[in-house]
Amino acid sequence: MKYWSIRFVIPLGFALAGVMLIAGRSQAAEPASLKVDVNQKGAPVSKYIYGQFIEHLGRCIYGGVWAEMLEDRKFYYPVTDKYDPYRPDREMPKDTKFPVIIASPWQVIGPAGSVEMVKESPFVGAHTPRAAAGSGLRQNELGIVKGKKYAGYAWLKSVGAGAKALVSLTDSGEVNLGDIAAEYTKYPFEFTAGDSTDKASLSVKIEGQPCLIGTVSLMPADSVEGMRADTLQLLKELNSPVYRWPGGNFVSGYDWKDGIGDRDRRPPRKNPAWTGVEHNDFGMHEFMAFCRLVGTEPLVVVNSGLGNADNAVAELQYANGAADTPQGKLRAANGHAEPFAVKWWAIGNEMYGNWQLGHMPLADYVKKHNAYAKALREVDPSIKLVGVGDTGPWSEGMMQNCADYMDLVSEHFYCRDKADLAAHVKQIPDNVRRKAEAHRDYRRRFEALKGKDIDISLDEWNYWYGPHVFGELGTRYFLKDGLGIAAGVHEYVRQSDIMFMANYAQTVNVIGCIKTTKTDAAFETTGLVLKLYRERLGTLPVAAKTQSPLDAIAALSEDGKTLTIAVVNASMDARELPLSVEGAQLAGSGQKWQIAGNDPQAFNDPGQPPRVQIEQCELKEVGPNLALAPCSVTLFALPLK
C-alpha cells in the first residue's frame, strides 16, 4: 500500500532514518520552520482514533463512571466485629484517600455478636447480614456536599413482627423507615447534606426485632441512570466515538450473564484480574445506557480466556438478537425489547501474555479465535471483529492464520517516564509508528493478507507510571504527558492509511484522562488534548514538515475550507515558527488554541482551580510566523481563500 509521511515525503524504507536524522540536528544548524503542502494529501483520518477504553478495574467504573457511593453494598465480604477494611496498595501514597478494600467496609453498630452472616436463602450472593434489635451497620468514608441531595434504599426483611429501621447520614438527619415487612421489601430514603465532608457515614439501625439487610444503595440524587453527572458531563465534552468494554484483563474471567437482570440480585464476585469486589451493578444494559448518554458506539470484548464460544455467541444474541430469539427474549424481559445493534466486537484481550487468564500458545489460540469468529458471524454477519495482536511473533501468527476471521487487529503499548522532555514526549509517536510499520511489513510478506486491509485498532495506549493517587492504577498526568498524547495523535494522522481505531486507556481514574474524587471530576492534561483535537483538528491530512523538537501536522477540515495545523513544542523555549503553505492561500485570519505552561510537571486536580487549561484566542491577522509557547500544544484553524 502507498506510504506517505506527513513529516516527510520519502519512501517507507527511509522513514525511520529520516526521523532520527532530523531529531539529531541542532537548532543552530537548521532553524525550525514549517512547510505545508496542501497538494499532498493522505488517507482521511478515522474518527475512531479518538476512541476510549473502560475496564472494571480500580475506580474507572465504580467510583468514576458509576454513581454508587457504597462499597460492597451486597456484602461479598462477611460483616464481622473486627472493622479493618482498608489497606493502601504498595503503589499508593501513604496518605491515600482511595485505599484498597480487603475486608467488609461495614462497621457493626452495637455489641459484639449482634450482627451475623446468614447463609440460608441469602438475598444475593453467599450470605446476608442479620442484625439484632439494638444493632445495625454503618459505612464510613463517604463524600457529601452541603446542600446536595442523596437518594438511596435498603432491601430489608423482618425476623419476627415489630422490626423497625432508622437510616441516617452524617449531619443530614435521620429517616424512619417504619415497620419492616416479613418479606424482603425495598425501602427508599433521601437526605440533603448538612455539611461537606469526605468522612460522612451512612447508618442502618434496627429496633424492636432482628432484621435481615439484603442490600443497600446510596447515590447523589442528580445521578443520571445510575451514572455520575459530573463525570458524564466531561465524557460528553470528550466526545469519543467508541468505547471498548469491559476489559482488559478483567474480561478473561468475566461472565457477562452476571451483569444482567435485577441489579440488586446480581451476584457480587471477587474481581478476577484486579483487587476488590466486582459488584456487577454495571453490566450490558448499563454500558449501553452509558453509550447512549455520551453519544458513542459500543465495542464489546468477549471472553476468550476462561470463556468459550458458546457463551460469546449467547452474549452476541443477547445484544443483537430479535426479541423472539432465546437471548433476545431474555433481553426483552430485562427491559430492552429492541436489539442494541452492537457493531464492534473484540475477541479476547492480550491472550499472548502469561498474566492473562486462559493464556495459551499461539498455535492453539489461532484455532480458538477462528472458532469464535465463525460462530459469532453465523449469528450476525454484519458485525466487525477485532482480533488480539502483539507486534512480533504473535501478530505474525494471527495475521497468517486468522486473516479471514477479523476486520481489525488489536495492538497495545504503554510508556513510562523519561527525565528529558523531548525524549518523554517522543516515546508515544515512536511506538505508534513502530506498530504501523510492522503491519505494513506483514502486508508485504504474508500471502494470507493479499487483497486484505486489516487495519490496526491500537485499543490500549498511554503513559503508565507514578504513584496511584486516585486508587488502583490511578496515576496522575502532567503537562508533559499531554504533549506526548498530542504527539501520539499526530502519528495516528500520519499513519491514517493503516491506523483505523485507537482507544485511550482507561478514560476515568485508572490511567485515565479524567480523574474524580468522591465529589468532583476534572480533565487531566491528556484529556484536554484529546478533547481539543477531537473538536478542532481537520480530517484530511496534508503534508507538513518541520524539525525536532517541534512535531507538527496539518489537515484540512471536512469541507476543505479550513487548514488546521497542530504543533507540539517539546522544549522550554518560546518559538516563532516560520510558516509556508503551498497549494492554497490563507484568508489572513484564524483561531488559535493552546495548552501550555512553564512547568512540564503542572497538573490538574478535581475540586481545585485548573492549573492547565485550553486557552483560545482570535487571530485577526496571520503573519509569516506561528507563535508557540514553551512546553505547549498549539492548534491553529486558518480559513482558506
pLDDT tens digit string along 243-263?
999 999 999 999 999 999 999
CA atoms within 13 A on the CB side of 33: 10
- Percent pLDDT > 70 in the chain is 95
Global pTM? 0.94
- Write out pLDDT tens, residues 584-638: 999 999 999 999 999 999 999 999 999 999 999 999 988 899 999 999 999 999 9
The number of beta carbons lying within 10 Å of the beta carbon of residue 609 is 8
Strand partners, 218: 152
Instruction: Identify the H or E element spanning 434.
Output: helix 421-445
Matching residue, cell 477531537: 534
Lowest mean pLDDT among 13-17, 222-226, 322-326, 425-429: 13-17
SS3 string, 569-586, reads: ECCCCCEEEEEEEECCCE
Is the separation of the CB atoms in 604 and 612 below 8 Å?
Answer: yes
Q: Delineate the domains of the chain, giving CATH numbers in brackets.
A: 31-40+541-639 (2.60.40.1180), 48-64+224-537 (3.20.20.80), 86-91+105-220 (2.60.120.260)
> Which has the closest alpha carbon to 535: 509, 506, 564?
564
What pLDDT was estimated at residue 20? 30
**CA separation for the pair 227, 490 (Å, rounded):** 33
Per-residue CA distances from 433 to 2, 449, 556 (Å): 15, 20, 22
- φ/ψ (deg, to 5) at 435: -65, -45
Is the separation of the CB atoms in 242 and 503 below 8 Å?
Answer: yes
Adjacency order of strands within the sheet including 211-220: 115-118, 128-131, 211-220, 149-158, 185-192
3-state helix, strand, coil in the chain (%, to 5): 25, 30, 45
**CA separation for the pair 525, 614 (Å, rounded):** 9
What pLDDT was estimated at residue 23? 33
Per-residue CA distances from 235 to 150, 230, 246, 290 (Å): 22, 9, 17, 10
What pLDDT was estimated at residue 32? 84
What pLDDT was estimated at residue 15? 32
What pLDDT was estimated at residue 4? 29
Name the pairing type of β-strands 521-523 and 550-556.
unpaired
Is the separation of the CB atoms in 406 and 469 below 8 Å?
Answer: no
What pLDDT was estimated at residue 5? 30
Q: Average pLDDT in the 327-333 region?
A: 98
- Write out pLDDT tens, residues 25-56: 333 335 789 999 999 999 999 999 999 999 99
DSSP string, 71-129: SSTT-SSPP-S----EE--TTS-TT-SSPEE-S--EEEESSTTSEEEE-SS-SSTT-EE
- φ/ψ (deg, to 5) at 576: -110, 110
Residue 271 has pLDDT above 90, yes or no: yes
Matching residue, cell 494471527: 398
**CA separation for the pair 420, 427 (Å, rounded):** 11
DSSP string, 338-353: S-----EEEE-S-TTS
- Write out pLDDT tens, residues 378-391: 999 999 999 999 99
**CA separation for the pair 562, 74 (Å, rounded):** 55
- Write out pLDDT tens, residues 131-164: 999 999 999 999 999 999 999 999 999 998 899 9
**CA separation for the pair 257, 554 (Å, rounded):** 46
Banded model confidence at residue 211, pLDDT cuts 50, 70, 90: very high
CA angle 435, 437, 439 (to 5 degrees): 70
- Percent pLDDT > 90 in the chain is 92
At 7, the amino acid letter reads R
For CA atoms 442, 447, 450, 452, the dihedral sign is negative
**CA separation for the pair 111, 576 (Å, rounded):** 73
**CA separation for the pair 362, 385 (Å, rounded):** 18
Lowest mean pLDDT among 58-72, 87-101, 434-448, 610-624: 87-101
Three cell numbers written together for 603: 497538573
**CA separation for the pair 483, 24 (Å, rounded):** 20
> Which has the closest alpha carbon to 243: 282, 315, 292?
292
At 388, the amino acid letter reads V
**CA separation for the pair 6, 545 (Å, rounded):** 7
Q: Average pLDDT in the 486-492 region?
A: 98
Q: Terminus-to-terminus CA distance in the chain, angstroms?
A: 33
Q: What is the mean pLDDT of the chain?
A: 94
**CA separation for the pair 297, 341 (Å, rounded):** 10
Query: 15-24 and 421-445 are packed helices; what angle lies between their axes, rounded to 10 degrees?
Result: 170
What pLDDT was estimated at residue 30? 52
Q: Average pLDDT in the 356-377 region?
A: 98
